[in-house]
Chains A and B, each alone.
Chain A
């Protein structure tokens, strides 16, 4: 049996092991790699940067716990930027599983870092079932959809919500999504109410979202961990995404190598079997 035939029958667990090594090694021996900024990330950063200080912004945590590794760094980077600009942040989620607790945990952690006060500088509205109704209804009145915040406090008792009645009081929406809810923010909120939306999505979602960037329905896009790393670079912070990108690059190199090897092996084995048959 030739080398290439052996390679074709290699136990897939060796590949899992190689991937594991490629992921672990960069954490043990960090080697910073350059991160280039895509035009989509740059335009999102510029749009946030152009917001007037102290304006009202919505940050939407539309992702499940399974994609925290990709989406949370985006949400964290967005909050760094928004709190730094003293924007008033209203958060919510359309995801029942873990959405409210992730929104609460991440926003409170970041708010504490920037010395922000709950109810004055930020509010977490939490979750409400039926995202189409929620998104459409907030255009008329946020309070009719969310009579209370995530902790059950009536919105009338939160000073920030005096100035945020519906979308006309919101200057920008930062949607972090791993699913189709982002489509509804485009088709309902952006199209019908004209609120500019910037999106951070999982890498799986990114190719679809590029169409919204091209049509101007998203002002910019952050695709997965790479997008988060780009935004971290733009705001001058090295966080989990920047560190994670080293492992990402190593695994990508490994996968490219395996794809090349696999193709060479396929053609060599095919040639050998043709020779054998002759």
Chain B
């Protein structure tokens, strides 16, 4: 391992431990590392936008004689007029373009790619012929979908049959939250394991 690699390894280990130190109590080293992270993020973002948008998407094309690329760049610059109260109206043209294209793209892709297939998947046969287990699952899907939708129907007071169905819906929502929370705990623990793996195997392992 070269001297530079060893330095990098120790730097990463120091930054990890400095951030972990917050678990004991807030301290100046944690604060310093937190600020370094924030500064790095902003610097990285500026460099990335400069390189991948201004140079790659605009300037390189202009140099190739595709001057029309300056037109969308001009509309992009108009967004900055929002910083001035007198000129901010100019940004509406760009915003209208963004909203229009976004709505157009997403209307089709969301409807065709997510809403319809997911709706179709809830319309399952209750006697599909795959045995009792499959039928039970289909019932759960249908009851869960309908009762959850009823829970979010607020135009009528949740009383009587509507109230009971909404209550069933709450149970489904709570179970879903529980599953999400369980997975979230697992995910966060995995991230801790990743850092500990680095500290034990890469950092401590490098000088043992």
Contacts and interface: CB of A to CB of B under 8 A. Distances in A.
Interface of A: 13, 16, 19-20, 23-24, 27-28, 66-70, 96-97, 127-129, 132, 136, 183-184, 186-188, 190-192, 202-204, 206-207, 211, 214-217, 223-226, 240, 243-244, 247-248, 251-252, 255
A274 B179 CA distance: 34
Contacts of A252: 185-186, 189
A224 B180 CA distance: 13
Contacts of A69: 190-191, 193-195, 197
Contacts of B114: 183, 186-187, 191
Interface in B96-125: 102, 105-106, 109-110, 112-114, 117-118, 120-121
Contacts of B52: 96, 127-129
Contacts of B105: 132, 136
Contact of B113 (A27, A67, A192): A192
Contacts of B186: 203, 224-226, 248, 252
22 contacts: A13-B23, A27-B200, A66-B191, A69-B194, A96-B45, A96-B52, A129-B49, A187-B109, A187-B113, A191-B109, A191-B113, A191-B117, A192-B113, A203-B183, A204-B187, A211-B118, A215-B117, A215-B118, A215-B121, A217-B113, A224-B186, A251-B193
A179 to B, nearest CB: 13
A20 B196 CA distance: 9
B149 to A, nearest CB: 15
Contacts of B195: 69
Interface of B: 23-24, 41, 44-45, 48-49, 52-53, 57, 102, 105-106, 109-110, 112-114, 117-118, 120-121, 176, 179-180, 183-187, 189-197, 200-201
A211 B148 CA distance: 15
A247 B190 CA distance: 9
A203 B184 contact: yes
A211 B185 contact: no
A66 to B, nearest CB: 7
A225 B112 contact: no
The 3 A-B residue pairs with the shortest CB-CB distance in the complex, in nearest-first order: A69-B194, A187-B113, A191-B113
Tell me which of A127, A224, A255 has the highest count of chain B C-beta atoms within 10 A of its own C-beta: A224
Contacts of A20: 196
Nearest to A27: B200
